[in-house]
Amino acid sequence: MNFEKYYLLDTNILLEDARNIFKLSDSTKNLIILSETVLDEIDSKKSGYDEINFQAREFARILENSEILSSNKYEDFKIIRLKLINQDETILDIISKDEYTINSKNISLNILNDRKILEVAKFAQIYYNKDIKFVSMDIMARTRAISLDIKSVALHGKDSDKFDFDFIKNIDINFEDLEDLENQDIINFDKEYKVSDFSYCLKVKHSDQIILASIQNNRIKILDEEEVRNQIITPLNKEQLFFSNAIINHFYNVLIVEAKAGSGKTLLALSGALKLVKQKHFQKIIYIRNSIESLDKGEDVGYLPGLEEKFRIYNHPLMDSLEYIIRTEHKRRRSKRDDISYTPLEDSEVSSRVEQMISNYGIETMWVGEMRGRTLSNSFIIIDEAQNMSNKTMQMVLSRVDSSCKVVILGSNKQIDNFYVNKYTNALTTLLKSTQNENNLVNIFAIKLEKVLRGPITEWAENIFSK
């Protein structure tokens, strides 16, 4: 058979999404090659409830639905050709070897496996007499491949670099337009309006006045800044005002936020959620965060023993935000009273009030591994660290949510810790890119929070390490 391209896949490509094998096959135009080491690594991941475990089992199901076309030996290697029975009958070659050149002494398992996979890649170039492209999410493995004269590519999403996610637009308006501005068609003021222009700064010509507005069904809705600021955590800049307005605005039911560390995204989401639950628009707040942490290859919180140990690590961002809200609320109340001087709360009192707030507002945490089969109703849902979720994970989480919920999705593409995704393929980027297109199913709002408000140290670190 003649193929246009020859792809040898790293394990992480299939654990990101098992069906990547079909995408890369491209209707059998391309040959897919796997080292037996990849099969071993996938087999070791089949047990568990994390995303990679589900993908490992999905790939096993794909292999079950296949037939052997041929089996050959060349030098010390064995090549088994399979036809995967999908819509396009993908062709897959699995290459194995009894004894690899690499010596396992004093080499960690993940490096040893990478070397075995690349030994197969080197052999494949000779066997097929073609350029083999090694596809991996791991920059170290790709770099090692290049050093062996093996072409290497990452898995990028389609049209990955064509959208810059700029959701706030600045335009000028005339003073005489102010009186009838509310509910006007945005096209009357901006002929180049796009569906991804969710927020506008309308500068009045020949003055310093700026009107902040959101766009709903192509209509201008002026922000009620006093109402937006009336919550525990006060928005401090126009981006935060737009975000907070969308949180408390019942028009929007899905919010997508790309934000720097320390920009206040989680605090503002929680503050708005508390306000809406207090007003009885929702019964509870559900906080969902992917379990992937900044650990070594293939490890995540799901592998830690015991639920208590898992969730102590898992819930740190939520608990930190709740503690900050408690301290902020206490300080604000004391500042309004002349008869009582302000004294900070003791840590024990903060912990007690946090537990009371969790009870009063029905705050729950969920791990993505426990969500299959669930239905979430009448809830304000915060999905944090979306940059560490694969598309499959996000699809599964969002498919649990019914129409009585509001969903706020938070993330930062500068803080990707998941070994199995990158800035092109993660769920946050997929959702951000989706805002380019019209949809009639949900009312979406998206924004970038680029101003660091946590403090000068965070801003300084962001400035020097993001260059």
CATH 3.40.50.1010 in the chain, residues?
A: 6-153
**CATH code of the region 233-465:** 3.40.50.300
61 pLDDT tier (thresholds 50, 70, 90): very high
Q: What is the mean pLDDT of residues 205-223?
A: 95
Provide the mean pLDDT of the chain. 87
Half-sphere exposure of 180 (CA within 13 A, CB side): 6
Query: What was the pLDDT predicted at 369?
Result: 72
pLDDT at 311 over 50: no
In CATH terms, the fold of domain 6-153 is Rossmann fold (3.40.50)
Residue corresponding to tokens 């805002």: 435
Q: Does the pLDDT value for residue 307 go beyond 50? A: no
Amino acid 300: pLDDT: 45
Model pLDDT for residues 162-178, shown as the tens digit of each residue: 556 789 999 999 999 99
pLDDT class of 291 with cuts at 50, 70, 90: low
The pLDDT of residue 417 is 83
Q: How many CB atoms lie within 10 A of CB 86?
A: 15
pLDDT at 159 over 70: no
Q: What is the pLDDT of residues 248-275, one digit of tens each?
A: 999 999 999 998 878 889 999 999 999 9
Return the exposure string of 221-231: e unless at least 16 CB atoms fall within 10 Å of the residue's CB, then b.
bebeeeebeeb
In the chain, residues under CATH classification 3.40.50.300 are: 233-465
444-449 β-sheet, strand order:
363-366, 284-289, 379-384, 406-411, 254-259, 444-449
Q: Are residues 384 and 410 in contact, defined by beta-carbon separation less than 8 angstroms?
A: yes
pLDDT band at 110; cut points 50, 70, 90: confident
In this prediction, residue 305 has a pLDDT band, given cuts at 50, 70 and 90, of: very low
Q: Is 246's pLDDT higher than 70?
A: yes
